[in-house]
Amino acid sequence: MGRFDGRVVIVTGAGNGIGRACAVAFANEGGTVVAADLEKDSAASVVEEIERNGGRARAHQLDVADEASIVELIEATERDLGRLDVLHNNAGIHETQLTAEARSDQLPTEVWDRVVGVNLRGLWLASKFAAPALARAGGGAIVNAASIGGLVGYPMGGAYGPSKAGIVQLTRVMALELAANGTRVNCYAPGNTETRMVTQYFEGDDGQVDEMVKQQLVGTHLLGRLIRPEEVASAVLFLASDDASAITGTCLVVDAGTLAWRGINA
């Protein structure tokens, strides 16, 4: 018996990194997964992986910055699968995926708008339209992807950091508002994880690794290594499961000790 037997789970940004690890983990624990991603082929790829392992999943192309796209996702999920029990808001981007690194006072306005539009507005929209569906299924769980970058300051993250800090606060507000519907709302804040968003800093297109840069990223981790996506997925599934039935409105830090390191070296 899996923790998510009979439950329907949406994972946004499911095509790669933490989202992919979570989609696979939810399916391995019995959930029927809707793998939603902007990249259609990436979503299809994770569904193929899940089905090879005997799980149930379907791919859905989604742009979280587009309200109509989110509405269609929620409607299709209820129509085709009958219910929605878990929403994992994982989709997110960083300034460096759109432009070269820039200080906050030099960041192009369109980059700020895109990062905040995807990370914070998109998450709010998905939660807004998922909330009634979760209530109709008897309540459920929303798990939001914040970041250690929303809890401590990092240079060259003038849009990403505030967007992730906003997620922490939005999580608290929604937990208060949706409790009466039986829906728990939590978030998690991962540290530097082996995803494209992080490895782009030290790994070139030719596969060569800049060990100095990599060690700078690892250096804030008391565990002395990057976090694996599967380790973050374990935390996500905990928050989404009945194991966390008394937990709502909180942010679970999965940072390999970064906050402790920051405290020591403040």
Mind listing the domains of the chain with CATH numbers? Answer: 8-264 (3.40.50.720)
**Average pLDDT of 68-87?**
98
Q: Which residues are catalytic?
A: 160
Residue 211 has pLDDT above 90, yes or no: no
What percentage of the chain exceeds 70 in pLDDT?
Answer: 90
Q: Measured between alpha carbons, how far is 27 from 19 in angstroms, rounded to an integer?
A: 12
Q: Measured between alpha carbons, how far is 218 from 241 in angstroms, rounded to an integer?
A: 30
Strand order of the β-sheet with 8-12 is 56-61, 32-37, 8-12, 86-89, 140-145, 183-190, 251-254
Q: pTM, whole model, 2 decimals?
A: 0.92
* pLDDT, tens digit, 9 for 90 and up, residues 156-203: 789 999 999 999 999 999 999 999 999 999 999 998 887 666 556 556
Q: What is the structure's pLDDT at 263? A: 64
Average pLDDT over the chain reads: 91
Q: What is the structure's pLDDT at 95? A: 82
Closest C-alpha among 255, 237, 256 to residue 247: 237
Q: What is the structure's pLDDT at 141? A: 98
The pair phi, psi for residue 209, each rounded to 5°, is -105, 130
Least confident residue range of 135-149, 182-196, 207-221: 207-221
* pLDDT, tens digit, 9 for 90 and up, residues 107-135: 999 999 999 999 999 999 999 999 999 99
Residue 236 has pLDDT above 90, yes or no: yes
Query: CB neighbours (10 Å) of residue 224?
Result: 10
Asked if residues 4 and 26 have their Cβ atoms less than 8 Å apart, the reply is: yes
- Measured in whole angstroms, how far is the alpha carbon of residue 163 from the centre of its chain? 13
**Average pLDDT of 208-236?**
80
Length of the chain: 266
State the Cα angle at 18 between 108 and 262, rounded to 5°: 70
